[in-house]
Chains A and B, each alone.
Chain A
Amino acid sequence: MPAFSGQLVVFGFASFFALAFAVLMVVQRTPVRSVLSLVVTFFGLSVLAVLLAAPFIAALQIFVYAGAILVLFLFVIMLLNLKEEAADEDDRPVQRTLGLLVALALGGLLAGATLRAPAPPRGMPSLSSIPSPDEIPALGRLLFSDYLLAFEALSLLLLVAAVGALLLSKRKFE
């Protein structure tokens, strides 16, 4: 079945890029570069999302994350004009090694857990089924029916966040 194999190839590439650039993002000393690596990772992720029959989410991923949030990051980085962080003079060896170990341990644990976990139950038909040729209307319908409250709360949250951000970053005029 060629289509499937094709998907496998795409998956391989996407996940490889995602992981590789994620690592880059961490090891990178220059903030701008880490941001860029993260952008690449996000692209990989959105490809994976497409493979998972979620093109809408994939587009959203790029549009919101890569296109807005990370640009905001870049903007701030430039605004503060952050050069690459100096090789820290008072490096905390304990923090570094321990942190690395813990991170790896937790990653391993989680991976094992997710793999050993039993398959999730069959989805509820009320939450219309995927993969489907066009899931966007279904998403919209759900958003304004089952998840209406969450949606409203979210809108409120965004408003508050906007106001808060404005207030925080505003220079105090005296």
Chain B
Amino acid sequence: MSPTLAAALEGAAKIAFVWACVLGAVLPNLIWVERRMAGFIQDRPGPNRVGPFGLFQAVADILKLLLKEDVVPMYADRLLHTVAPLILLVPAMTTFAVIPFGSTIHLFGRDISLVIADVNIGILYVFALTSVGVYGLVLAGWSSNSKYALLGGLRSSAQVISYELAMGIAAISVFLAAGSLRLQRVVEYQASGTFLGFLPLWNCFPQAVGCLIFIVSAYAETNRVPFDLPEAEAELVAGYHTEYSAFRFGMFFMAEYLNLIAASAMMATLYFGGWSLPYLHLTGIFGSLASIAVFAAKTGFFIFLFVWVRWTLPRFRFDQLMNLGWKVFLPLSLLNLLWTGALVLWGVI
């Protein structure tokens, strides 16, 4: 079979696998997990009717959203109002293309790198897509022709732009250490040695500050609590998706969770060694499979963290948000970059 065809097949297989995992497994459970967790934290049972432990709650929700009437406000810009959720959803779904979910596996006499497309601009790709995703919010806010929505859109755009900066600079220092933009390479680098002799060479150790900034910024980027000002129900009803209902709303819902998953995956990849385990080298087919499991576990943890934070912390005020982004994170991320550069220069990492 010709190499091109093989490559095509291989890519298709990977895509199928990833989508299966994300949409089929993670997403529904995530909805369930969040709601149960909310119940747990708020000391109430949470959804437990549909199926055992309410496990099918997600399915029910989706069905409901699918079946509800789809209202488009009279004075809304119909086209954009329709397009907006898609604009949000598509990037969120394509982000996974560059995230390595496992080490290289040997199958059918081929070395298959467990990442859909290990492009040399990996992280930039992710950033590009996320930055495009914001259009979804902004347009949703603008097109539905309602002041709450508009405000939500405004907020989201300002917020995303602001935190992209800090996030990007924090990420840059990661690549400064790894010496490449390829995420696969980043993971390999983190698996390659130790920091200060005993710690794993995960970026979260030498770049603790950067790691923190990245995580917090990710929360802001995904409009999650404590930075969910675009949909601050207390002030803006439901922010940018005030005027959305039924499956359009569902798309926003999905997109948010997909972004959340992607963000968690990124955190795991960039700062916590991705699919690698500290101190021991995974080899062989089973090693590869194990690496996938490891990656899944790490990602899961961060997803859990998202949920945990959401039900724990109060919301920021907008000016606080901006101050944090511009006056704290930006300088800190620059310092972090400097620090990392110094470390690289002195050969510490």
Contacts and interface: CB of A to CB of B under 8 A. Distances in A.
Chains A and B bind each other: yes
Contacts of B150: 78, 81
A65 to B, nearest CB: 10
B63 interface: no
What band does the interface of chain A fall in when counting residues whose beta carbon is under 8 Å from B?
20 to 34
A75 B161 CA distance: 10
Determine which residue in A59, A60, A74, A81 has the highest number of CB atoms from chain B within 10 A of its CB, and name it: A59
Interface string B112-141: 000000011100110111111011001101
Contacts of A30: 77
A45 interface: no
A23 B295 CA distance: 46
A79 B138 CA distance: 12
Nearest to B182: A134
A36 B135 contact: yes
B127 A63 contact: yes
Interface string B265-301: 0000000000000000000000000000000000000
A147 interface: no
Contacts of B320: none
Given A3-B4, A68-B161, A136-B181, A56 B121 contact: yes
Contacts of A133: 120
A6 B43 CA distance: 58
A68 B158 CA distance: 10
A1 to B, nearest CB: 11
Nearest to B124: A59
B125 A59 contact: yes
Nearest to A62: B128
A71 interface: yes
B142 A78 contact: yes
A60 B124 CA distance: 7
Interface residues of B, number: 32
Given A74-B138, A75-B158, A79-B154, A63 B128 contact: yes
A59 B121 contact: yes
A94 to B, nearest CB: 33
B76 interface: no
A56 B154 contact: no
B128 A71 contact: no
Given A32-B80, A55-B119, A134-B120, A67 B131 contact: yes
Interface string B42-81: 0000000000000000000000000000000000010010
Nearest to A32: B142
Given A60-B124, A71-B157, A66 B131 contact: yes
Given A63-B128, A68-B164, A39 B135 contact: yes
A8 to B, nearest CB: 16
Interface string A1-43: 0110000000000000000000000000010110010010000
A91 to B, nearest CB: 25
B153 interface: yes
Given A74-B138, A78-B150, 20 more contacts: A32-B139, A36-B135, A36-B139, A39-B132, A39-B135, A56-B121, A59-B125, A60-B124, A67-B131, A67-B134, A68-B131, A71-B131, A71-B135, A71-B160, A71-B161, A75-B138, A78-B142, A78-B157, A133-B120, A136-B180
Interface of A: 2-3, 30, 32-33, 36, 39, 55-56, 58-60, 62-63, 66-68, 71-72, 74-75, 78-79, 81, 133-137
Cβ-closest 6 pairs across A and B = A67-B131, A59-B124, A62-B128, A63-B128, A59-B121, A134-B120
Interface of B: 4, 77, 80, 119-121, 124-125, 127-132, 134-135, 138-139, 141-143, 150, 153-154, 157-158, 160-161, 164, 179-181
23 contacts: A3-B4, A32-B139, A36-B135, A39-B135, A55-B119, A56-B124, A58-B121, A59-B124, A59-B125, A59-B127, A62-B128, A62-B129, A63-B127, A67-B130, A72-B161, A74-B142, A75-B157, A78-B138, A78-B150, A78-B153, A134-B120, A135-B120, A136-B180
